[in-house]
A and B are shown apart, each in its own frame.
Chain A
């Protein structure tokens, strides 16, 4: 490897964008060679032109902010319900016995499967979409909090108790920080599911948003816009995950993990 290649390999931008280069090239080649009819498959140039047009007319920014607003409400309520519920179920054997079969049952009913009845109840509204996102976030979050609490070494609880910590202090000082890595990955998984559920809900319930935009474009046969929608979804989630969720999860897991290793030796 030459010095230049090594330097490029270390650069964050190259590492992030590099893998996409061959994919885009292949995409461009397939479009250029007209392997598929142009009405079904457009090249990067067409999508780029579409992006310009949608930005100019303000449609994309508008839809984007609609989608993100919905996600925001969904996440807000999802965390607001999921976090306390998770710790309650994880801490109380009684709550656990009572709710565990229910949790597994409702987790198994796919989020999208709720849409028909949610539309009957709330109509084609923000409430309907939020309901589905909240639903999607809550269950994986609760399950990973419970798993996180189970992973807290019992000796840490014993140590805290034998130094004078009461039940509430054991919770705030040991259980919460001890389960944090698992909670962090639960939030990340939950948000990932929520994001997908949002797009699906917008396709079905949609009056606006990226999901709606894509499905509407399909109706009028604008393949470039469909492609654009898919790319926007990918970029947006990638950014959210890489900039916010992954570093947070990584930071907790790394510190905690190191300690578990050294404790095991």
Chain B
């Protein structure tokens, strides 16, 4: 592929010292892959394989031991608005209204009020939250909260949107709808997405490519290209033989890893 590289991860390696035992623990062995502009890439792996650590390093929350992360050609150091994060527990500001949350990033970057409001209206419409501007997050359902989490990041137009198991804490019914919403939003806006999950169906349904990590210390096991047609929805996409084949293949990749996976309480 010779598309523009929005995100490049090269030989990422992370060790940390366990606070209790004092032992050195390898969280990430050696991870390299990249995400093209406008591409949806999921990172999938057994629990405790360090996939969230990869995201945290890309977000700038955690520093890598070695290796490099480049976003739009610039090496990453510390968190920044070019890498907006959607958190598993939403991390919305409870004391701000929906409007206050969605305009937060724009306000931080000094965008004028009129433009902020226009942008906010656009992204709230995109996620279906028009009319809820003056509500507080606790007045919204879990699914609506996470849609706000997505709108808040997209309104800030990051070079890459990082999503850390965003639907893991949401009930199965709502989760399917949110996945369809997300794939529609992706279709409309074409943001670059880096998506962490442990749900194989979710990864296949949403992604252009799925990066399968091996168990700890993690490395890239295989990168699976998902060339399912878009737009996608569960009713049709979920029934496609290619969808099932991809899902089974990835499940096998993960299962093959299970046999020699290290027992991990996390």
Contact = CB atoms under 8 A, between A and B. Distances in A.
Given A162-B84, A163-B84, A163-B152, A259 B79 contact: no
Contacts, number: 87
Contacts of B169: 265
B81 interface: yes
Interface residues of B, number: 32
A162 B60 contact: yes
B186 interface: no
Contacts of A178: 95
B153 A265 contact: no
A162 B79 contact: yes
Interface stretch (A63-71, A103-111, A150-158, A198-206): A150-158
B13 interface: no
A33 interface: no
A137 B47 CA distance: 48
Contacts of A158: 59, 61, 79, 85, 87, 91
Contacts of A58: none
B138 A255 contact: yes
B138 A163 contact: no
B223 to A, nearest CB: 26
B145 interface: yes
Given A158-B85, A259-B137, A153 B152 contact: no
A29 interface: no
B94 interface: yes
A4 to B, nearest CB: 37
A82 B184 CA distance: 51
A155 B91 contact: yes
A164 B91 contact: no
Contacts of B59: 158, 162
B48 interface: no
Contacts of B109: 164
A164 B81 contact: yes
A265 B91 contact: no
A255 B92 CA distance: 13
A164 B138 contact: no
**Chain B CB within 10 A, most for which of A153, A162, A165, A180:** A162
Given A155-B89, A263-B90, A161 B138 contact: no
Given A155-B91, A156-B91, A163-B104, A262 B81 contact: no
Interface in A150-200: 153, 155-156, 158-166, 169, 173-174, 177-178, 180
B116 interface: no
Given A158-B61, A265-B142, A163 B105 contact: yes
B93 A156 contact: yes
27 contacts: A156-B91, A158-B79, A158-B91, A159-B91, A159-B92, A159-B93, A160-B108, A161-B60, A162-B59, A162-B80, A162-B84, A163-B81, A163-B84, A163-B156, A165-B104, A166-B108, A169-B108, A173-B104, A173-B108, A177-B95, A255-B95, A255-B136, A260-B94, A261-B138, A263-B89, A263-B92, A264-B89
Interface of A: 153, 155-156, 158-166, 169, 173-174, 177-178, 180, 255-256, 258-265
Given A161-B61, A255-B94, A265-B142, 15 more contacts: A153-B91, A155-B91, A158-B87, A159-B92, A161-B79, A161-B80, A162-B59, A163-B108, A164-B156, A180-B95, A255-B136, A258-B94, A261-B138, A264-B89, A265-B169
